[in-house]
């Protein structure tokens, strides 16, 4: 009997139509297009003006299932990786399942900031590989505009809304999920977090007045940590699987900052033409960046292609996943 692996059999992405350009931000905070572009690589980001994270998730799920030609009732499990859930509870995964009619699925949210999608992909793969389930959906999606302070020029230039999803199914050809190296260090929480709204600091008039329900980031510290760790785990997962840059078809990095992407590619020895980059059009969609890349590059992917997915997020969380494309 062949060993079962968890393969991606469908991918779909979505970003809202409304754009927030660097020129728009020039009118809102003390910044300019040249400064933003040179430091982040971002020209514009998408903004969801109406609806919740789950509403984007519904569009993504419907597109994903239609491409694969299956019904919502066939889905076993939905893992929604998000930093902007509809509610503290219930889980956004369950809200999405209800809205699309996935009556036979159970689901939960996974919170790991920008690393959430690769955490979720690794987790979902286990349910397939053990033979427990046949169809698992991993959604990476965020409405970051709901937690961004558009008076804070350090963060409002970076983030956007959108995301994507993949369908995992059993594969007996050795394709799909191969390996992952995942890490976290809670000591980094003070540098990238939302200060209020949780049990440590519940919402109050004071927390609202102090604008503590928005993303706070100490940029230099986060940048330094991200450059080192995202790059090192990507290189480590390649070395552990005896892969050279020549063996890699695509590096799929989290779209946080163009300089972090470049540093990761350099550490792995992967040339720019084999690195997926769309940060200039979407900004950092947190959990949404990697599935958005897979969706946009899908037509260029070939069966058997080696892909390295790498991410870094608040908390701190980081890691890399090695997959073989299955179609």
- pLDDT tens-place string over residues 87-117: 999 999 999 999 999 999 999 999 999 999 9
Alpha carbons 5 and 247: distance in angstroms, whole number: 20
Q: Rg of the chain's alpha carbons, rounded to an integer? A: 19
Cα–Cα distances in Å, from 78 out to 54, 72, 165, 216, 316? 12, 11, 10, 29, 24
Query: For residues 201 and 236, is the Cβ–Cβ distance under 8 A?
Result: no
Q: Identify the bridge partners of residue 159 per DSSP, sorted by sequence position.
A: 284
Confidence of residue 2 (pLDDT cuts 50, 70, 90): confident
Alpha carbons 205 and 207: distance in angstroms, whole number: 6
Residue carrying the six token digits 């499990």? 77
Question: Stretch 9-30: mean pLDDT, rounded?
Answer: 98
Q: What is the DSSP letter of 222?
A: H
- pLDDT tens-place string over residues 128-182: 999 999 999 999 999 999 999 999 999 999 999 999 999 999 999 999 999 999 9
Alpha carbons 179 and 169: distance in angstroms, whole number: 16
Question: Stretch 207-228: mean pLDDT, rounded?
Answer: 95
How high is the pLDDT of residue 280? 98
How high is the pLDDT of residue 131? 97
254 given a catalytic annotation = yes
Residue carrying the six token digits 């892969």? 243
Q: Is the dihedral of CA 129, 132, 136, 138 positive or negative?
A: negative
- pLDDT tens-place string over residues 31-71: 999 999 999 999 999 999 999 999 999 999 999 999 999 99
Alpha carbons 58 and 95: distance in angstroms, whole number: 9
44-46 vs 161-171, strand pairing mode: unpaired
Of the candidates 22, 284, 287, 306, the residue annotated as catalytic is 284
Alpha carbons 148 and 282: distance in angstroms, whole number: 15
Of the candidates 22, 80, 97, 254, the residue annotated as catalytic is 254
Of the candidates 114, 156, 268, 293, the residue annotated as catalytic is 114
Confidence of residue 1 (pLDDT cuts 50, 70, 90): low
Q: Indicate whether 264 pLDDT > 90.
A: yes
Q: What is the mean pLDDT of the chain?
A: 97
Query: Among residues 146, 42, 152, 28, which one has the least CA distance to residue 92?
Result: 146
Specify the pTM: 0.97
Question: Stretch 192-210: mean pLDDT, rounded?
Answer: 97
């Amino acid at each position: 009997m062949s060993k079962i692996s968890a393969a991606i059999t469908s991918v779909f992405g979505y970003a809202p139509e409304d754009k927030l350009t660097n020129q728009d931000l020039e009118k809102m905070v003390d910044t300019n297009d040249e400064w933003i572009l040179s430091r982040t690589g971002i020209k514009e980001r998408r903004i969801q003006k109406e609806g919740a994270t789950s509403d984007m998730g519904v569009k993504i799920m419907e597109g994903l299932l239609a491409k694969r030609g299956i019904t919502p009732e066939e889905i076993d499990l939905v893992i929604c990786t998000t930093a902007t859930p509809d509610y503290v509870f219930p889980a956004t995964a369950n809200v999405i399942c209800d809205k699309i009619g996935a009556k036979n699925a159970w689901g939960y949210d996974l919170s790991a900031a920008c690393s959430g999608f690769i955490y979720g992909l690794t987790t979902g793969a286990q349910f397939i590989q053990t033979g427990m389930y046949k169809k698992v959906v991993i959604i990476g999606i965020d409405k970051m505009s709901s937690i961004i302070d558009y008076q804070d020029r350090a963060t409002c230039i970076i983030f956007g809304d959108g995301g994507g999803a993949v369908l995992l199914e059993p594969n007996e050809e050795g394709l799909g999920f191969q390996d992952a190296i995942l890490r976290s260090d809670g000591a980094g929480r003070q540098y990238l977090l939302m200060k209020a709204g949780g049990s440590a600091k519940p919402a109050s008039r004071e927390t609202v007045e102090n604008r503590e329900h928005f993303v706070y980031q100490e940029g230099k510290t986060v940048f330094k940590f991200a450059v080192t760790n995202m790059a090192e785990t990507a290189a480590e997962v390649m070395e552990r699987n005896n892969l050279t840059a020549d063996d890699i078809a695509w590096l799929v990095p989290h779209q946080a900052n163009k300089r972090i992407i470049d540093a990761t590619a350099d550490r792995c020895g992967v040339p720019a033409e084999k690195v997926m980059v769309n940060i200039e059009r979407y900004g950092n969609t947190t959990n949404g960046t990697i599935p958005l890349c897979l969706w946009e590059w899908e037509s260029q992917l070939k069966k058997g292609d080696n892909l390295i997915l790498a991410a870094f997020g608040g908390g701190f969380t980081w890691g890399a996943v090695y997959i073989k494309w299955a179609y």
